[in-house]
Amino acid sequence: MTITLLYVVAMVFVISQQEIGRPLMSLSQAPSDEYTKDRTWTNLAIRRMWQERKKMSHTPLFKFNYVGQKNVDIVFKNESASRSGSLKHRYTWGLMMWALIEGHVKNGTTIYEASSGNTAASLAYMCRLLHIPFVAIVPDTIEDIKVRHIEEYGGKVVKVPLGERLVRARQLAAENGGFFMNQFGNADKAEEFHESGDFPLESVNLFHEILVQLQADEVQEVKVPHYFVHAAGTGGTISSVGRYVKKYGISTEIVLADTQFSVYYDYVMYDRFKNESGASLWVEPGMAGIGYGPMGMAKKGETTSIDPAVIDRVVKIPDVAATAAMRILRDQGASGGTSSGVNLITSMHVASTAKKPIKSRLTIATLLADPGHYYDSTYYNREWIARKFARHGGLEAYDCWYSVISESLASGEDPLFLGYERCPSGVF
């Protein structure tokens, strides 16, 4: 009776499995031989990406005229000369290559991305190259010129409050069957595609290019920079440089230049804001496109790509000081965006406080990440500065920092120390 009952139960189970169309667990028979999928479109897309890499070539280097420090070279890499106008061109090349190879992007896939503008423009460029749709989710404070830039490459723009970009981009991608590229979380996944070693198809890693260019410059005395200085938005660029330097045992120190109300300084130095939001501590306007504040907790691989393990030092810069440094840079003939101002004043601080014994010229590599004309109506506009930086001390603070940085250029003194002593600190 028991055996019969077990047999009946077993048969019912088998029949029920067959009825719902689920085969019994089994292995494919040997021998078997099948192709996984048709990769024709993907292979063509990858070839187009490598053709783009050849056209990218190397963005130029230039030396900042630091008259007060005769034994210092501050070498800027001008990423505004890239084919889509900013540092994000090489970054989105790496992201797109990763997404193609891992099958996230196929023929007809719509890509969604959260961006302050530059990544969106560069991704729109890459999507146009591959003939696929692109939608940018940008802050409602974005400059009009950046919107036009995205649209010129065929991208569509959706404006949302600054802190909602990631949530909205993820939501739209899910609702419409698209792919959320997520530059904030996926930069490390694209990392291996930033660096290609000795393979004939050249790396797009930024520091790789800097080293190649310095080696080829017969006038350049120091071929390997003592410091690399850069601000962080997603954190992808400085982390990719840091990993490159650490991987190859290069002596260059990686210095993160952080903005005033960004959480990155505390995130890297003190392991904070991984489980708590810094949104309530954010003070507008910030430095557009860089720093991390209003988007909630900083979670590596989800909302940020910054890697504390590869950063050697962090410097926090007052926003109004960085804005004044943008003007200094423009007055010297090199017009750059918000991160360029942060990079300049941080590089001057690093040079003036360098403690390591330098037998030859102290050499600092940094970036001019995007063109200054994007910010003509904002960070280069005195009326806008007076209004938006009122809590920071307004034009009085801005003019004070401009004077301090100018003096530091001539004397070689630390601009941060002088500005701290002399300039209004604001009311927060």
Statement to judge: residues 73 and 154 lie in one domain: no
Statement to judge: residues 169 and 283 lie in one domain: no
pLDDT digits (tens, 9 = 90+) for 222-279: 999 999 999 999 999 999 999 999 999 999 999 999 999 999 999 999 999 999 999 9
**Is position 361 within any domain?**
yes
Residue 301 burial class via C-beta count within 10 angstroms: exposed 0-12, middle 13-18, buried 19 and up: middle
Among 366, 406, 208, 238, which residue's Cα sits nearest to residue 311? 238
pLDDT digits (tens, 9 = 90+) for 275-287: 999 999 999 999 9
Polymer length in residues for the chain? 428
**Is position 334 within any domain?**
yes
Q: Helix or strand or coil: residue 80? A: helix
CA 336 vs. chain centroid, Å, equals 16
**Which ranges of 86-205 does DSSP label H, i.e. alpha helix?**
88-101, 118-130, 144-152, 165-176, 183-186
pLDDT band at 357 (very low <50, low <70, confident <90, very high): low
Statement to judge: residues 236 and 156 lie in one domain: no
**Is position 49 within any domain?**
no
Q: How many domains does the chain have?
A: 2
Statement to judge: residues 62 and 109 lie in one domain: no
Among 36, 63, 126, 104, which residue's Cα sits nearest to residue 333? 63
Residue 198: its pLDDT value, please?
58
Distance CA 248, CA 250 (A): 6
Residue 20: its pLDDT value, please?
54
Residue 8: its pLDDT value, please?
45
Statement to judge: residues 211 and 140 lie in one domain: no
Q: How many CB atoms lie within 10 A of CB 258?
A: 26
For residue 369, the domain's CATH number is: 3.40.50.1100
Percentage with pLDDT > 70 across the chain: 92
Residue 15: its pLDDT value, please?
47
Statement to judge: residues 72 and 95 lie in one domain: no
pLDDT digits (tens, 9 = 90+) for 65-75: 999 999 999 99
Statement to judge: residues 289 and 216 lie in one domain: yes
**Is position 219 within any domain?**
yes
Domain's final residue, options 159, 186, 213? 186
Is 9's pLDDT higher than 60? no
pLDDT digits (tens, 9 = 90+) for 135-152: 999 999 999 999 999 999
pLDDT digits (tens, 9 = 90+) for 366-422: 999 999 999 999 999 999 999 999 999 999 999 999 999 999 999 999 999 999 999
pLDDT digits (tens, 9 = 90+) for 338-347: 999 999 999 9
Domain's final residue, options 122, 152, 186? 186
Cβ(137)–Cβ(111) under 8 Å? no
One-letter amino acid of 61: L
**Is position 212 within any domain?**
yes
pLDDT band at 23 (very low <50, low <70, confident <90, very high): low
Cβ(148)–Cβ(120) under 8 Å? no
Statement to judge: residues 121 and 254 lie in one domain: no
Residue 356: its pLDDT value, please?
65
Residue 13: its pLDDT value, please?
45
Cβ(405)–Cβ(328) under 8 Å? yes
Cβ(318)–Cβ(401) under 8 Å? yes
Sign of CA dihedral 377, 383, 387, 392: positive
Is 12's pLDDT higher than 50? no
Distance CA 250, CA 370 (A): 27
Residue 203: its pLDDT value, please?
84
Domain's final residue, options 160, 186, 212? 186
Range of the domain at 361: 58-82+203-422
Statement to judge: residues 395 and 249 lie in one domain: yes
Residue 25: its pLDDT value, please?
85
**Is position 37 within any domain?**
no
**Two tokens, residue 298:** 């900083």
Statement to judge: residues 281 and 299 lie in one domain: yes
Statement to judge: residues 73 and 116 lie in one domain: no
**Is position 45 within any domain?**
no
Is 5's pLDDT higher than 60? no
Statement to judge: residues 117 and 259 lie in one domain: no
**Is position 2 within any domain?**
no
Residue 363: its pLDDT value, please?
97
pLDDT digits (tens, 9 = 90+) for 148-168: 999 999 999 999 999 899 999
DSSP per-residue letters across 352-419: HT--S--SS-EEEEEEE-SBGGGGTTTTT-HHHHHHHTGGGTHHHHHHHHHHHHHHHHHH---HHHHH
Specify the long-range contacts of residues 135-141, CB closer than 8 Å, at least 24 apart: 135/110, 135/111, 135/172, 135/178, 136/112, 137/112, 137/113, 137/165, 137/168, 137/169, 137/172, 138/114, 138/165, 139/165, 141/285, 141/288
pLDDT digits (tens, 9 = 90+) for 293-339: 988 999 998 899 999 999 999 999 999 999 999 999 999 999 999 99
Residue 266 burial class via C-beta count within 10 angstroms: exposed 0-12, middle 13-18, buried 19 and up: middle
**Two tokens, residue 181:** 């590229």
Cβ(56)–Cβ(90) under 8 Å? yes
